[in-house]
A and B are shown apart, each in its own frame.
Chain A
Amino acid sequence: MELKEVKHLANLARIEMSDEELIKIQKELDLILNSVARVQEVAKDDIPATSHAIEMVNVFRKDEVKSSLSNQEALSGAPAQEEARFKVPQILGEE
């Protein structure tokens, strides 16, 4: 994997990493990917995929009103709040 690709991945994952960290993880990812790529040896076209071991479809619960977290409880872990809402840094740029 190219360093450029690793940087792109870190960007997709929204994780800031130093150049040193990126180089280290580049080597580790290469090693791990080389090792796990062997799944391709047996993953033939006619084998269906299993995403969940115990198959279930259309799991619903009754549409009933129940008590839930109060506004205050939901905000209790917020890094910042204002007027009973989560306060977040600016989302859009200046331009």
Chain B
Amino acid sequence: MTSIFSTASEMAESLKQKEISSVELVQMHYDRIEKVDSGVHAFLHLDKAGALAKAKIIDDKRAAGEKLSPLAGIPLALKDVLTQKNQPTTCGSKILENWRPPYDSTVVERLNANDVVILGKTNMDEFAMGSSTENSAYGPSRNPWDLTRIPGGSGGGSSASLAAFEAPLAIGTDTGGSIRQPAAVTGTVGVKPTYGTVSRYGLIAFSSSLDQAGPCARTVLDAALLHQVIAGYDEKDSTSINQPIPDVVAAAKKGEVKGIKIGVVKEFQGEGYQKGVLNRFQESLDILVNLGAELVELSCPSFDYALAAYYLIAPSEASSNLARFDAMRYGLRISETAGQSAEEVMRITRGKGFGPEVKRRIMLGTYALSSGYYDAYYGSALKVRTLIKRDFEKAFSQVDVLVSPTAPTTAFKIGEKANDPLAMYLNDICTIPTNLAGIGGMSLPAGLAEEDNLPVGFQIMAPVMQDDRLYNVGAALERALHEKWGGNILKQIPDLNNLVGIFAGKGSN
């Protein structure tokens, strides 16, 4: 029986067999959203009328016997960083409140072309800067495993929507870990594809040389099916790679690690890592060895400098990218008195329209790029980027994939790190190197940490354009873990219906 708890591939099969219609499936998810999203707050905007109308069209096409895409009629939650024509697109920022873009991002165009039904836009840290969604101008999302905790960030709305069964698929974007870390802390699957394989056209830029959209799902196969839909060359993105995308769906169906060499990154263990995270990581390694993989411990010494390089490169690019929010052509415009100049209006609007973290990063980037400091900061960071690329190249000359925990800890409490930017930045320590090197990475659930019963993520990294390796290794590990757990890890999530009442709305008594 198909329900909101089914996987996307199960739903697709039921649609194909006409056991359920897309309208019913979409309605089922809106019912769930209505029930639990007051507590979870995964969505910023819903397009119920549009989604149901679209589902009806797809049902009609199916009834007429048209050949449809594998994911036709399946609902999806879209991160609010991607433009969707005439739908609110805020990037979690006040500066874009009420903005309705006049064009679709390429990701949305591809979703539409494949008849995927977009339920609405998901919450995120403002301009994707953060690891918790606490930087959203519209309030944080909450982790369905424990509503007092963060669902990760910046794509916490997308990960929370999956774990809360509000959507079977979601789109995220990953600049330093914003797909993978949210997946890790919510017990879901998230993939950052190789840079340049998913078009950035219509992805509101944070750090152009690092930003990459990717699939979020509850299983490795579901992520692969979505990956296949959104990836591919796009002439509208000048960094798009004009090469065929590897067959990630076949890899996800294969899941065979016999004889595969897996490199364990020495730098991503030890101090600062939660005990339960390391235990689950080790358990997954043991499973992979039992399945016939060969483990090789590797050192990537420059990874210790990745975080520092990232927090120079990303803010530098952001300071330039976010200059476009100038109160002139779209978005917020605030003028306090008549006769103020364009520049004064710009200053006031940006001062009121951007939140603290965005201001922090723009200021940091402006500093790192300013004359006199450029070589010492931005220039040095670019050199570290070269060293990190070399470390990966050396590692991948010895092994097929690299693995690590996705994040050093499980989900922390909302508010716990909100006033300590440096502590917050440490969440991305394991995910950042892949962005700097442009390679693909996946996070999948490795179980629950024994000390807090919260999900732990297992990260897999593969060389450029070898994203199929992520799916192959991920599928093998997932299959073994599902056998061990008696199904998906999300079967162990507490019943949201009991929790939501406590957190619904503001100041409810």
Contact = CB atoms under 8 A, between A and B. Distances in A.
Interface of A: 1, 6, 9-10, 12-17, 21, 25, 28-29, 31-33, 35-44, 47-54, 56, 59, 61, 69, 73-74, 76-80, 86, 88-91, 93
Given A29-B360, A51-B209, A39 B386 contact: no
B462 to A, nearest CB: 14
A54 to B, nearest CB: 5
B100 A76 contact: yes
Given A15-B350, A15-B351, A74 B363 contact: no
Given A16-B350, A17-B359, A80-B333, A50 B385 contact: yes
Interface of B: 99-103, 194-196, 209, 235, 238-239, 241, 302, 305, 308-309, 311-312, 319, 323, 326-333, 335, 339-348, 350-352, 354, 359-360, 362-364, 366-367, 370, 376-377, 379-387, 389, 421-422, 436-439, 464
A90 B344 CA distance: 10
A93 B438 contact: no
Nearest to B85: A73
B383 A48 contact: yes
Contacts of B311: 32, 35-36
Contact of B99 (A41, A69, A77): A77
Interface-central residue, B309, B311, B352, B383, by most chain A CB under 10 Å: B383
Nearest to A18: B351
- Which residue among B194, B238, B323, B384 has the maximum number of chain A CB atoms within 10 Å of its CB? B384
Contacts of A29: 360, 363-364, 367
Contacts of B381: 36, 39, 43
Given A16-B348, A42-B302, A89-B335, A35 B389 contact: no
Nearest to B306: A39
A52 B359 CA distance: 25
B329 A86 contact: yes
B195 A90 contact: no
A23 to B, nearest CB: 13
A4 B353 CA distance: 23
Q: Quick one: which of A28, A74, A80 has the most chain B CB within 10 A?
A: A28
Contacts of A61: 235
A47 B82 CA distance: 36
Main secondary structure of the interface of A (DSSP, over half): loop
A49 B422 contact: no
The secondary structure that dominates the B interface is helix
Contact of B238 (A25, A37, A50, A59): A59
A28 B102 CA distance: 38
A30 B389 CA distance: 29
Contact of B195 (A13, A54, A93): A54
B363 A10 contact: yes
B363 A6 contact: yes
Contacts of B439: 53
B335 to A, nearest CB: 6
Contacts of B351: 15-17
Nearest to A52: B209
B383 A13 contact: no
A11 to B, nearest CB: 8
Contacts of B102: 69, 73-74, 76-77
A54 B350 contact: no
Contacts of A59: 238-239
Nearest to B310: A36
Contacts of B323: 14
A13 B239 contact: no
A25 B438 contact: no
Contact of A39 (B330, B360, B380, B421): B380
Contacts of B421: 28, 31-32
A1 B370 CA distance: 14
B241 A15 contact: no
Contacts of A48: 383, 386
B329 A77 contact: yes
Given A53-B436, A76-B100, A90-B341, A32 B238 contact: no
